[in-house]
Amino acid sequence: MLSAKLQDALNEQMKNEFFSAYLYMAMAGYFEAEDLPGIASWMRVQALEEMTHGEKFFNFITEAAGRTDFRGFDSPQNDFDSPLGVFQVSLEHEKFVTASINKLMDLAKDEGNHAAQIFLQWFVTEQVEEEASFGLILRKLERIGDDGNGLLRLDEELGGRGFVPPAAE
């Protein structure tokens, strides 16, 4: 059973996860327009991942006898100065998501909701991976600088990413 406060917070995080998917699709659109299809594909995969995260929240809320509440969100940023700028925004967004997950975990602990804590642990671990992944690409882009060949190599590298749904619990 979910308290009203925890249910509200979980619904807010579900919204954040779906917004993340929307944001990464906007970034994919930027990369498509910049003729960087590999990085665009990487962002599309990231968007799919975020959609599955939102679905995880949906499933947990309903399985815990809660009520989902779909909330609107503002349009994401669509224009960027550079690929580096995209990944700077991405990493900051992932840090925001990490902070949100951590607050949710704190609330679940404060309420003694063990099921929510177990559910959220997956996201705590996932956020470490997310920040590391975005951080690595950001550092590569910083090293590349204005080297067009380096950017094309990174585009090719990132284009090899495929979507792997999270393992069923």
Q: Where are the domains of the chain?
A: 4-72+82-158
Distance of alpha carbon 92 from alpha carbon 108, whole angstroms: 25
Contact of 117 with 105, CB cutoff 8 Å? yes
Q: Does domain 4-72+82-158 have CATH number 1.20.1260.10?
A: yes
pLDDT tens for each residue of 115-167: 999 999 999 999 999 999 999 999 999 999 999 999 999 999 999 999 988 77
Is the model's pLDDT at 169 over the cut of 60?
no
Distance of alpha carbon 31 from alpha carbon 51, whole angstroms: 20
pLDDT tens for each residue of 14-44: 999 999 999 999 999 999 999 999 999 999 9
Q: Taking the model in full, what pTM does it have? A: 0.94
For residue 100, give Cα distances in angstroms to 11, 15, 21, 77, 80.
12, 11, 16, 20, 25
Contact of 20 with 53, CB cutoff 8 Å? yes
